[in-house]
Amino acid sequence: MRTLLTHAKPVAALPGALVLAASLTACGGSSAASDEKVVTVYSADGLKGEAGDGWYDKVFADFEKQTGIKVKYVEGGSGEMVQRALREKSNTQADVLVTLPPFIQQAGSKGLLQAYAPQGSDRVDGADKAPDGTWTSIVNNYFGFIHNKKELPTAPKSWEELLDATYKDRLQYSTPGVAGDGTAVLIKAMHDFGGREPAMEYLKKLQANNVGPSSSTSKLAPKVDKGELLVANGDVQMNFAQSKSMPNLGIWFPAKGDGKPTTFALPYAAGLVNKAPHAENGKKLLDFLLSEGAQREVSAVGGGFPARKDVKPTDANALALGKLLEGVEVFEPDWADIDENLTTYVDAWKSATGS
């Protein structure tokens, strides 16, 4: 079994049940298919605020004001969005697809994306964009876990602690192969435990405490905040943003035994959909998302990390986010291997857990 993961790298400067979010403003009566002033975005959850105060809310409103192009937004799990775009391949509905690895690579390999290098993409690190130009990261992010700070003031340190009976029916992680962050659980476990087999042995044991499947990672945070769950998976950007209205959320990173806590970059990556009905509008939106102004608001508004390496925010959120990752080892997954073998890994997980 080849290892999934290649090497550790330093932290760079700094994701469901299908949810149809309404267009930010009414579409004026004409259909999306014929309205030239519209762009349809299919996206993994996490960047739109529960109270309309997320990064997407701000940049979509600014984009519409500047261009007059209305944004229609469709949200769901990372894998779910790719599957929807794949089903619609003969009658394309989306213009822009935003999802997490390895699903953005999957979208590329299935021919769902066309090459387009947005303005500003030359300032994005080479590892955070496709070699063939089909996708570019727009918000950098890292995988993590959350705990209820009120009922569990000290976060667990290791994977092994989660096997304790304390967590029976008080732990849940989103579904690998469906949710990006759920797939990340699998990737991190395979890295930390040293391969597929030992990771599956552990996840089989963990299943005794697991509440069950969840297609949306974002729906787990409210359960943790209320104390229904003690621990769940997530990602730094989404959970940091959610903590503004969910004060009991704490972010942590599991270690293997007495080792160092680990994580890996899990960026929101965007691509122009192949045969997009409003391709020119899609290009304009991608340019806008990578503009210096929008990137400077990634931390301040969205609680994430800018994708552009020349944008180095110093707002309070940016400083707090940097502090979260102090002492955490950041490794780099072998995304080509994961893209090629994802089905095999997910099937192994299903077999091990009886899911």
- Compute mean pLDDT per 10 residues along the chain, 355 residues long, and list them: 39 38 37 71 93 95 98 93 96 97 94 98 94 97 97 97 98 94 96 98 98 93 98 95 94 97 96 98 98 97 96 95 96 91 96 96
CA angle (332 as vertex; 327, 333 as ends), nearest 5: 130
User: What pLDDT is recorded for position 13?
Assistant: 38
pLDDT at 339: 87
DSSP bridge partners of 5: 333
First to last CA, the chain: 23
* Beta-strand relationship, 113-114 and 268-273: antiparallel
Of the candidates 134, 141, 301, the one whose C-alpha atom is nearest the C-alpha of residue 235 is 141
Selection from 108, 217, 130, 222 nearest residue 173 by Cα:
217
Write down the pLDDT at residue 110: 95
DSSP assignments along 40-56, one per residue:
EEEEETTSS-TTS-SHH
